[in-house]
A and B are shown apart, each in its own frame.
Chain A
């Protein structure tokens, strides 16, 4: 794989994780426009640990993700009382507050940024990606997964059959924040440098777009959406200075013509059925 493709694939892995972080929260019908904030927390925490205390990269990223997860709970609690658009705005405000905080926080560089984190490799990134895919795969076939789907589809019915809706929603927030924090840690150690601007609103926005365009009802949608729309700007390089305009246009058109996204639950079930059939034949 060429050096260039390695780079594209590496960033694509980070994007997949960010998309999954949005998906985790979205699966309980909460739309978070602030996951860049969780990403920033994970990034700065893990970078600080590896650069200033010499901690190894993997535990540093895990700690960063855990800290981000705690922030996820802190944000998720007041957000419980909100719905729809208000959750979008509250999480968006949170993301901006985090960004501004790091712009001014001297111990991690403030406006001058933070230099030094290194060590992300493709296996490390895709180790996390595979672990998350495995997790979501198991989750979707589990009782917990069905409970989450119930919370999303009809929270009133869900609580009437005994599900603790609030706990599930908070858990989803924690999970989303954790994954975003891990993405942040991986990102920081890949880019060698982070600054508050690395986590601006467009990062959160693109994460949501990956999920919506990929198909928001299954986690595979998040994965596929992130893959396709990470590669798209690179393929449009030949358009030179019209590149980003075309990118925006493609996004707008996709939303109009295929708002349900690329991957639908029906598709996933069909593929699973097909695979199950193949394995059964192989076993027989």
Chain B
């Protein structure tokens, strides 16, 4: 059973990784926390649902949801970050919390408070690989998540725009002196973080569960924990953090009880923040 649970953990963890990456992109870039990130995840999931029920073929619905979520993230940047960045670091944080409330309630008005489900099938191909049972959907999730993570990693490390992103994140003042269009970098970063969250939303809803306007709250929280454990500002850290959290959660449910889950997760969160704020893979933070 252990191996099976490990695979379960990896599948769950990949969606967490996508959310964590979104958090860390914005946090690493602007030293700001976007609390509404989880709600962008929710928004992406609902967009995908709306397009799918309208009869749009699934891959296109996927893509449109990704686009919509990215745009929502840009809206958040416009309303919550841009006007408030220079005032006090707390303002954008609070504004995103308020925006989250707004988004959740508007979503309730549009899609209702009761769970909605994607049109889906339970006939899935199951593959028995030794002692482990893997479904075709698990493979899709891991493939898409991994693919996106590799793509982002390559983009940030190898392209010139990626270099601009890293420059803005490490030394914001000098970056603009070096000719980097920081505004464009910021908009693009937000868009990517939102798009990734949107993908995670569609994957989660499509495969596993029903969605309500309130699922973003918990998913966002877990993404944050994954980000911290992996290392703030560190992309690969966020990926590994997400996978780790997924495995921890599954193992806890398998061998203990779901009651302990949050104590373990948030306890770890507290311990890391206080005693190892750079997480597993990050570098020691510079003074804020």
Contact = CB atoms under 8 A, between A and B. Distances in A.
- A and B together in one complex: yes
A209 B109 contact: no
B287 interface: yes
Interface residues of B, number: 44
Contacts of B157: none
**Number of chain A interface residues as a range:** 35 or more
A239 B209 CA distance: 32
B94 A85 contact: no
A129 B282 CA distance: 44
A248 B95 CA distance: 9
Interface of A is mostly: helix
A89 B269 contact: yes
A242 B109 contact: yes
Contact of A252 (B31, B95, B228): B95
A248 B102 contact: yes
B149 to A, nearest CB: 23
B263 A97 contact: yes
A112 interface: no
A94 B267 CA distance: 8
Contact of A85 (B89, B109, B269): B89
A78 B276 CA distance: 11
Interface string A82-97: 1111101110011011
Contacts of A249: 102
B186 to A, nearest CB: 17
Interface stretch (A42-50, A130-138, A255-263): A255-263
A37 to B, nearest CB: 11
B109 A245 contact: yes
Nearest to B82: A256
Interface in A203-233: 205, 208-209, 212, 216
Contacts, number: 115
A212 B266 CA distance: 26
Most buried by A among B103, B105, B259, B274: B274
Given A84-B89, A85-B31, A97-B267, A251 B274 contact: no
A86 to B, nearest CB: 5
A207 B287 CA distance: 27
B99 interface: yes
A159 interface: no
Interface stretch (A98-106, A115-123, A171-179): A98-106
Interface of B is mostly: helix
A79 interface: yes
A10 to B, nearest CB: 23
A234 interface: no
B90 A208 contact: yes
A89 B273 contact: yes
B72 interface: no
B195 to A, nearest CB: 22
A247 B259 CA distance: 33
A101 B263 contact: yes
A255 B94 contact: yes
Contacts of A281: none
B84 A259 contact: yes
Nearest to A208: B94
Contacts of B260: 104
B288 interface: yes
A104 B80 CA distance: 36
Contacts of A216: 88
A27 to B, nearest CB: 14
Given A31-B90, A245-B105, A82 B80 contact: no
B224 A256 contact: no
A212 B94 contact: yes
B98 interface: yes
A81 interface: yes
B58 interface: no
B181 interface: no
B93 interface: yes
Give the top 8 A-B pairs by smallest Cβ distance, nearest first. Answer: A248-B102, A251-B98, A248-B101, A84-B288, A245-B105, A100-B262, A93-B270, A96-B266
Interface of A: 31, 78-79, 81-86, 88-90, 93-94, 96-97, 99-101, 103-104, 205, 208-209, 212, 216, 241-242, 244-245, 247-249, 251-252, 255-256, 259-260
Given A241-B109, A242-B105, A256-B83, 10 more contacts: A81-B274, A85-B288, A93-B267, A100-B266, A103-B262, A209-B97, A251-B102, A252-B99, A256-B84, A259-B84
6 contacts: A89-B224, A96-B266, A99-B262, A104-B259, A256-B95, A259-B87
Interface of B: 27, 31-33, 79-80, 83-84, 87-91, 93-95, 97-103, 105-106, 109, 221, 224, 228, 259-260, 262-263, 266-267, 269-270, 273-275, 277, 285, 287-288
